[in-house]
Amino acid sequence: MSQITQPRNNTVDNSATHNNAQLQELVHNILAEARMQGASAAEAGVSIETGLSVNVRLGEVETLEYNRDKGLGVTVYFGQRKGSANTSDFTPEAVRETVRAACGIAKYTAADEYSGLADAQLMAQDIPDLDLCHSWDINAEQAIELASECEGVARSLDSRITNSEGASVSSHQGYRVYGNSHGFIGAYPSTRHSLSCAVIGGEGEAMQRDYWFSVARNSAELDSATEVGRRAAERTLRRLNGRRLSTCQSPVIFSAEVATGLLSHFISAIRGGALYRKATFLLDHLGKPVFPAFVHIHEAPHIKKGLGSAPFDSEGVATRARDIVRDGVLQSYVLDSYAARKLGMQTTGNAGGVHNLIIDPGKLGLDDLLKHMNKGLLVTELMGMGINTVTGDYSRGAAGFWVENGEIQYPVEEITIAGNLRTIFMGIAEIGNDIEKRGSIRTGSILVKEMTIAGE
Could you give the CA distance from residue 140 to residue 163 in angstroms, rounded to a whole number?
Answer: 24
- Write the burial class of residue 150 (CB in 10 Å: 0-12 exposed, 13-18 middle, 19+ buried): buried
Could you give the CA distance from residue 44 to residue 85 in angstroms, rounded to a whole number?
Answer: 10
Whole-number pLDDT of residue 205: 85
Question: What residues have CB less than 8 Å from 233, skipping those under 6 apart?
Answer: 153, 154, 155, 157, 158, 161, 199, 201
Per-residue pLDDT of the chain (456 residues; tens, 9 = 90+): 334 444 443 333 333 444 788 999 999 999 999 999 999 999 999 999 999 999 999 999 999 999 999 999 999 999 999 999 999 999 999 999 999 999 999 999 999 999 999 999 999 998 999 999 999 999 999 999 999 999 999 999 999 999 999 999 999 999 999 999 999 999 999 999 999 999 999 998 889 999 999 999 999 999 999 999 999 999 999 999 999 999 999 999 999 999 999 999 999 999 999 999 999 999 999 999 999 999 999 999 999 999 999 999 999 999 999 999 999 999 999 999 999 999 999 999 999 999 999 999 999 999 999 999 999 999 999 998 899 999 999 999 999 999 999 999 999 999 999 999 999 999 999 999 999 999 999 999 999 999 999 988
Q: Counting every residue, how long is the chain?
A: 456
Task: Give Cα 387 distance to the centre of its chain.
Answer: 18
Domain with CATH 3.30.2290.10 in the chain: 3-237
What one-character-per-residue DSSP string does 51-109 give? EEEEEEETTEEEEEEEEEEEEEEEEEEETTEEEEEEES--SHHHHHHHHHHHHHHHTTS
CA distances from 333 to 85, 92, 121, 324 (A): 30, 41, 20, 7
Superfamily per CATH, domain 3-237: PmbA/TldD superfamily (3.30.2290.10)
Could you give the CA distance from residue 267 to residue 271 in angstroms, rounded to a whole number?
Answer: 6
Confidence (pTM) = 0.93
| CA neighbor of 23 nearest in space, from 134, 266, 186, 261 | 186
- Burial code (b: 16+ CB inside 10 Å, e: under 16) for 75-114 equals bbbbebbbbebebeebeeeebeebbebbbebbeeeeeeee
Could you give the CA distance from residue 22 to residue 16 in angstroms, rounded to a whole number?
Answer: 10
Whole-number pLDDT of residue 2: 39
CA distances from 22 to 52, 91, 191, 216, 401 (A): 24, 12, 20, 28, 54
